[in-house]
A and B are shown apart, each in its own frame.
Chain A
């Protein structure tokens, strides 16, 4: 698995996509840091970008990689290696290559602009950790979708749809529910539903950490009370890790049974 991971990473970090992704984050972060007041404001601006863009790029990158490497995967399958090592290595390479673009693209400029003097180091780490978690979650989902679907157009469509669902549609449904049942005390329902969407979960974690949950009104207070506590925080992180684990297990399940 280690070797497959190494070479997948080696291949991917030199792809045009990775460089473009890295360049985009570098440019964006530098521009934001140069033109806005302070480090904490930039973290909030970047939060929105990371929450939407990381999942989108991970989804696109995941399906593209799975389909492009299809024939080479066949060559690997004919070698004396376990199937789980091949797909495990590829999945890790995929996630780590994008995480590197993210960490270097955002982390580099922040270090340069004096992150350590600002006292925002924890908020900043939460942002990056969330970005990395989302990258792994959505790469895994996309990789799984591509493995399940031989038809590439269908695979691409489903992958984009899964991103759209979590980034936009899920929130729409949540909001609609809240409006429809506004007469009832449904804060815990909202809280519960948020746990099942990794993007929402990340957003709440960042907002709570930045201590601006008051912006979310009464619901925010409920969230603050629950997720601000040690238990809530660990539950949220646990759910995010579960979100990584499920697609990974799915990949393993499909990989062991699939005909190539």
Chain B
């Protein structure tokens, strides 16, 4: 449903994506996109949505190139990393606004109940706490019920109960056959939820496969440690490379 071919993107001199090719075509699968800060996770997701315009390469959603297109976005729901909204609108008004924008059937009622937002509906968005804003963010992202979901750090600022409800919601969406992409830094969340991981390192795909495979490859009991090993070795390699260079010169 989403295919990425040879994607390049740089911001000035900083190369963020260096020719990434990826396919996400299995409905009902959760793919976690992982990587250290600045590895290109968010840039990759934003490229799919057309918010970042790639330098080279192509992205196809449902077989059609997204270059210069906008209507394809009604097939994708997106949860942005930072939840900040117009401060003088009330929660109810904001939800009505986003409902108006897409003319599609929305299911905000059920989501408002799920995340316990009823008492906040008439508050102005500028007066909400960070966690409550994230709940509003979740309602806005999930309310359209589109076949593809892109979630950027969905757990940030949530209390344990809301987190549990979010996990249930994501699993329900999965069982309804949606294609789900998630980025997060919380490895427990990945181990529990993701069917596969795509590990980005310095703008390339370092690893793609099941969580178990990464753990067995590095003989580590948990994903967190396996990833730490990846990053640690990378550092050691870089360091030794530098040493060799110095010796040669």
Contact = CB atoms under 8 A, between A and B. Distances in A.
Contacts, number: 69
B73 A79 contact: yes
B247 interface: no
A260 B101 CA distance: 20
Contact of B86 (A3, A72, A78): A72
Interface in B13-58: 46, 49-53
Contact of B80 (A11, A74, A82): A74
B70 A80 contact: yes
Interface in B91-119: 93, 97-98, 100-102
B84 interface: yes
A8 B11 CA distance: 30
B71 interface: yes
B87 A82 contact: no
15 contacts: A3-B100, A12-B88, A14-B88, A69-B86, A71-B80, A71-B82, A72-B85, A78-B73, A79-B98, A79-B101, A80-B72, A81-B70, A81-B101, A259-B52, A260-B51
Given A3-B101, A79-B102, A10 B49 contact: no
Given A7-B97, A78-B78, A78-B80, A259 B86 contact: no
**Minimum-distance CB pairs A-B, first 7:** A71-B84, A78-B78, A80-B74, A11-B86, A80-B73, A14-B88, A259-B52
A11 B102 contact: no
A117 interface: no
Interface residues of B, number: 30
Most chain-A CB neighbours within 10 Å: which of B86, B101, B140?
B86
B128 to A, nearest CB: 14
Interface residues of A, number: 26
A143 to B, nearest CB: 16
A257 interface: yes
A78 B97 contact: no
B52 A260 contact: yes
Nearest to B52: A259
